[in-house]
Amino acid sequence: MSKRVLTTESGAPVADNQNSATAGVGGPILLQDQHLLEKLARFNRERIPERVVHARGSGAYGYFEVTDDVTAYTKADFLGEVGKKTETFIRFSTVADSLGGADAVRDPRGFALKFYTEEGNYDLVGNNTPVFFIKDPIKFPDFIHSQKRDPFTGKQEADNVWDFWAHAPEATHQITWLMGDRGIPASYRHMNGYGSHTYQWTNEAGEAFFVKYHFKTNQGIRSLSAEQAAELVGKDANSHQTDLLQAIERGVNPSWTLYVQVMPAAEAAEYRFNPFDLTKVWPHSDYPLQRVGRLVLDRNPENVFAEVEQAAFSPNNFVPGIGPSPDKMLQGRLFAYADAHRYRLGVNHTLLPVNAPKATTAENYGRDGFMATRNGSRHDKNYEPNSYQGPAQTGAALSAPLAIHGWTGTHEAPAHTKDDDFFQAGELYRLMSEDERKRLIANIAGGLSQVSREDVIEKNLAHFAAADVEYGKRVAEAVRALRED
């Protein structure tokens, strides 16, 4: 069987792909060697800007199957019938490190899911923790800068990490999660996923509900100690990628069961703490988990760059029956995520196969721009309304409107009766066994003891003490012992 002919990008056959054209034998290379110049120029441009956060990631295709009737809460078509399946793509990631970072590190994990529904793509962007470090997006760039490599030393610095946290008491809950036993998942298959934010569901009658998503792993929770993680990184820095790839190739398809917590919209205003605060969870005793369906991953990407690196998830990609809430972090991300992809991938990134709708067709008047492949013909107009049968609006809102009132300005979030930055962190600590507490204390002290400023240490110790007196005392003793060594 003869091989296909190698060509240039313009389609011309390549005579020699082993030797550059030169001025005589052993002479200098000729500028007229178009094939050489094309290869070098393309090679120089193979990389695109990496994500500022969530740069290091892995992905897989699968499906979501509805197992329970939730039509009382949402009119979303892909959730409208028990047994219905929807194709999905998921991207797991670490948050703080660069594209070349290791997988088995103490860091939250991104859990970004794209549903290719018949009403358009629905993107659900979350983490493997139900809470986050901050509650207002204006602090997000500063937070990430504090966790990234220092401009002078070129590495993550404990002074920066803990100095920011010293000035962000609301981070205490997430710090307790991160420094606890689940801070380093053993693999992407062995961790839960959460929508983290509060979202809105709307049913056919127009009734609104606020929801939180919980994807519970069916493989069971497995995590690594700091010592186990360090050993694993030395053996395989790509451990989570290796595990996910090989499991699916073997036919061991990982799965998660989706549950939601549902709060009637009318209850939000009087709830004892702000239900849109990303640093807090809703107690299950108040809003029990209700099963929705099952997520299964059964196919690996054929090309990691094309399908994982270029995958674009935007939490503003909603479908009828699902919408945003007043969650300030979510509101910020509605802009920031899509804008990041326009910067990294270009304005036409939604036309890439991994990002394009699969169960329907995108119909709009977006035209031109870099790498445009959907420009229309002389029969297609690029404005609306028009008289030429172009796509038109439906007039039907995707979700229920959110009530607003008051004056514009840089307001703090409205205070509820029991709003507090520390109470839930203390509850989490008190739920831990003694062995879990010991590991948590050791993990926190290991980083905090490296901070050079005593005032920064004391501010952080005060946060842990505010969460739980014993918690604060034990961290303080462990930090002191390490600093005296």
Dist CA 235 CA 104 (whole Å): 11
Dist CA 232 CA 327 (whole Å): 37
Residue positions annotated with a catalytic role: 54, 127
pLDDT at 301: 98
Residue 131 amino acid letter: V
pTM: 0.93
- Enter the tokens of residue 406: 């008051």
pLDDT at 372: 81
The DSSP line for 30-74 is: PTT-HHHHHHHHHHHT---PPPSSS-SEEEEEEEEEE-S--TTT-
pLDDT, one tens digit per residue, over 419-436 is 899 999 999 999 999 999
Dist CA 30 CA 421 (whole Å): 67
Alpha helices in 82-221 (DSSP H): 140-147, 158-166, 172-179
Neighbours of 10 (CB within 10 A): 7
**Cα dihedral sign for 446, 451, 452, 458?**
negative
For the chain, which residues score pLDDT lower than 70?
none
Dist CA 73 CA 204 (whole Å): 8
**CA 16 distance to own-chain centroid:** 45
The DSSP line for 90-114 is: EEEEESSS-TT--SSSSS-EEEEEE
